[in-house]
């Protein structure tokens, strides 16, 4: 049976949600230890005056490695990633279509269950 350890997103400072810019920001990078998987849970909140698109990228900017979400304006946190498991230093990044005049209005927070076998 595996060992579960709850850890912060590697891109976060002290567990704070990360501000998502119009260019890519790394939310979390999986650990490198053999037999270790990171189960990533993410939520997004949009403080803009309009609904905004959030793009989550899994290790690449290729369209086939992206997931797109419409995050409603000023409506709290929405579950974006409900426990996808990653490994081998795979990075999860994000960007938004929210204009630069609205910088800092899309935030993403979460946690990781690190599973060691």
- The CATH number linked to 85 is 2.60.120
66-100 pLDDT, tens digit per residue, is 999 999 998 999 999 999 999 999 999 999 987 65
pLDDT band at 116 (very low <50, low <70, confident <90, very high): very high
1-32 CB burial, b ≥16 within 10 A, e <16:
eeeeeeeebebbeeeebbebeeeeeebbbbbe
Q: How many domains does the chain have?
A: 1
Which of 28, 40, 11, 22 has the alpha carbon at shortest distance from 115?
Answer: 40
Q: Which domain holds residue 56?
A: 3-116
Edge-first strand listing for the sheet containing 25-29: 25-29, 91-96, 52-58, 66-71
């Amino acid at each position: 049976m595996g060992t579960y350890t709850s850890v912060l997103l590697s891109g976060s400072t002290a567990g704070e949600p990360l501000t998502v810019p119009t260019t890519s920001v790394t939310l979390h990078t999986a650990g490198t230890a053999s037999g270790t998987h990171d189960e990533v849970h993410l939520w997004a909140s949009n403080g803009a005056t309009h609904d905004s698109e959030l793009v989550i990228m899994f290790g690449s900017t290729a369209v086939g490695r992206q997931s797109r979400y419409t995050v409603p304006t000023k409506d709290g946190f929405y579950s974006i990633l409900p426990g996808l498991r990653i490994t081998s230093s795979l990075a999860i990044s994000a960007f938004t279509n929210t204009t630069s005049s609205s910088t800092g209005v899309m935030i993403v927070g979460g946690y990781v269950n690190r599973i060691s076998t």
